[in-house]
């Protein structure tokens, strides 16, 4: 009898132990001990970043605590040597040769637009050993690839994004109105992007018209635009997740509001202010979260619009009429196909 009771207790102890281990591995304890974002958020730099950036815009100088240094294969200084209405910074894999070519001939080309509207496209890539000869040919042929001296990998996406942001600040911030960061597996309507930035608060897809902003100067050097599909979510704490985040790396229970990094638009002023803010903000390995942190520190409210689709929206004339961007076109042939449908319908 005593042995039987002891065995039952042991089974219960083992079962409870297993439950606790699984609870831990799934991030349960980390969620319990996370700090409250609304009360405690203070991401390094811990000072008033907005104040520093305001001072820098007025000519003050400060010693950076964080600095992204890049050596470019070519600095593409010719891209913004004249006025640019919209600059696409396309995050691309070094081996996605066909994908880049399709983008050059479709949504990334000024030829698609009526009138004298200047848009430019630059592809952002890191380093990889494979395919150097073919990549060199592409460099020499198109002269639109910005390659930085870092490994091109998933967890270096923040580095890739910051390379584009820093380069655009250095070479384009005086001549470019709007900058759109976008992945190379997106379809984008440049015409609709340009329509959207005229007034993001009344463009279809906004939750509601925000009347209180109707009096604002929405010009690119006066308005801090940071727009796309906005998320409000919490860190993944499960040890099984690709996106696992420890409490040491990020101790809070929520992320600041952020725009999915696959496609987001900045005005010239936002670009400049975010670059300055990055000089005082610790690096974070998820690019959309990092940009969201910069915006939060600068008190820039992300503008949400459902016409930025972070999933693939199947083509229909109605569905694409006001579409700004849609994700999931990793096949060059499929991207070319939807582009032809889109353009043919426009001409009807």
Q: Tell me: do 120 and 226 sit in the same domain.
A: yes
**126, pLDDT greater than 90:** yes
Same domain, 160 and 95: yes
Own/partner long-range contacts of 202-208 (Cβ < 8 Å, ≥24 apart): 203/305, 203/307, 203/322, 204/307, 204/322, 205/305, 205/306, 205/307, 205/308, 205/322, 205/324, 206/303, 206/304, 206/305, 207/304
Give per-residue pLDDT as tens, 53-100. 999 999 999 999 998 988 888 899 999 999 999 999 999 999 999 999
Task: Specify the range with the lowest mean pLDDT, choosing from 14-28, 174-188, 228-242.
Answer: 14-28
Task: Examine the pLDDT at 290 and tell me if it is beyond 90.
Answer: yes
Calculate mean pLDDT across residues 254-258: 95
Say if residue 341 is in the same domain as residue 262. Answer: yes
Q: Is residue 51 located within the same domain as residue 26?
A: no
Q: What is the pLDDT of residue 45?
A: 86
Residue 118: name the closest of 185, 23, 190, 61 by CA: 190
298 is in which domain, residue-wise? 39-346
Proportion of the chain above pLDDT 70, given as a percent: 91
**pLDDT number for residue 212:** 57
Same domain, 12 and 68: no
Residue 156 CA, distance from chain mean position = 13
Considering the domain architecture, whether residues 28 and 46 belong to the same structural domain is answered as no
Are 29 and 44 in the same domain? no
The two structure tokens encoding residue 83: 């006025």
Mean pLDDT, to the nearest integer, of 299-319?
A: 94
Inter-helix orientation angle 268-278/49-57, to 10°: 120
What pLDDT was estimated at residue 119? 95
Q: For residue 135, what are the CA distances in angstroms to 11, 142, 154, 224?
A: 61, 11, 20, 36
Same domain, 160 and 244: yes
Q: Are residues 184 and 207 in the same domain?
A: yes
What integer pLDDT is reported at residue 210 of this predicted model?
59
Mean of pLDDT values over 189-206: 94
Judge if 169 and 24 occupy the same domain. no
Pair (228, 313) in one structural domain: yes
Q: Are residues 164 and 298 in the same domain?
A: yes
Angle, alpha carbons 104-109-115 (nearest 5°): 170
For residue 226, what pLDDT is reported?
A: 97
pLDDT at 182: 98
Q: Percent of the chain, pLDDT > 90?
A: 68
Question: Residue 243 — very low, low, confident or very high, per pLDDT cuts 50/70/90?
Answer: confident
What is the pLDDT averaged over residues 123-142?
A: 86
Q: For the chain, how many structural domains are there in total?
A: 2
pLDDT at 338: 96
Q: What is the CATH number of the domain that holds 81?
A: 3.90.550.50
Nearest to 308 by CA among 209, 235, 203, 184: 203
Phi, psi dihedrals of residue 228, rounded to the nearest 5°: 160, -150
More confident residue, 177 or 12: 177
Query: Which whole number is the average pLDDT over 199-217?
Result: 76
Rounded Cα distance, 101 and 332, in Å: 8
Instruction: Please determine, for residue 131, whether its predicted confidence score (pLDDT) is greater than 70.
Output: no
């Amino acid at each position: 009898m005593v042995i039987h009771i002891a065995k039952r207790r042991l089974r219960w102890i083992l079962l409870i132990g297993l439950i606790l281990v699984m609870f831990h591995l799934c991030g349960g304890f980390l969620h319990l001990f996370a700090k409250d974002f609304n009360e405690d958020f203070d991401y390094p730099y811990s000072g008033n970043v907005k104040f520093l950036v305001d001072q820098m815009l007025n000519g003050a100088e400060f010693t950076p605590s964080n600095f992204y240094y890049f050596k470019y294969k070519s600095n593409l200084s010719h891209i913004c040597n004249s006025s640019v209405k919209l600059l696409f910074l396309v995050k691309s894999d070094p081996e996605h040769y066909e994908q880049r070519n399709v983008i050059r001939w479709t949504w990334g080309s000024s030829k698609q637009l009526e009138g004298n509207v200047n848009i430019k496209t630059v592809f952002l890539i890191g380093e990889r050993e494979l395919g150097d000869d073919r990549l060199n040919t592409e460099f020499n042929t198109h002269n639109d690839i910005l390659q930085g001296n870092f490994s091109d990998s998933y967890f270096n996406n923040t580095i890739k994004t910051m390379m584009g942001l820093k380069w655009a600040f250095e070479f384009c911030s005086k001549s470019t109105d709007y900058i759109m960061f976008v992945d190379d597996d997106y379809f984008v309507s440049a015409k609709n992007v340009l329509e959207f930035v005229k007034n993001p608060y009344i463009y279809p897809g906004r939750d509601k018209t925000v009347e209180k902003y109707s009096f604002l100067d929405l010009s690119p050097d006066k308005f801090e635009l940071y727009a796309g599909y906005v998320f409000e979510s919490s860190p993944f704490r499960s040890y099984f997740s690709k996106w696992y985040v420890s409490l040491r790396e990020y101790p809070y229970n929520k992320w600041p509001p952020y725009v999915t990094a696959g496609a987001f638009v900045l005005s010239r002023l936002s670009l400049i202010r975010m670059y300055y803010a990055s000089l005082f903000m610790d690096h974070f390995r998820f690019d959309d979260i990092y940009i969201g942190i910069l915006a939060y520190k600068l008190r820039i409210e992300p503008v949400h619009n459902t016409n930025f689709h972070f999933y693939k929206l199947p083509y229909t004339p109605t569905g694409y009429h006001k579409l700004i961007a849609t994700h999931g076109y990793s096949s060059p042939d499929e991207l070319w196909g939807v582009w032809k449908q889109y353009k043919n319908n426009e001409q009807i």
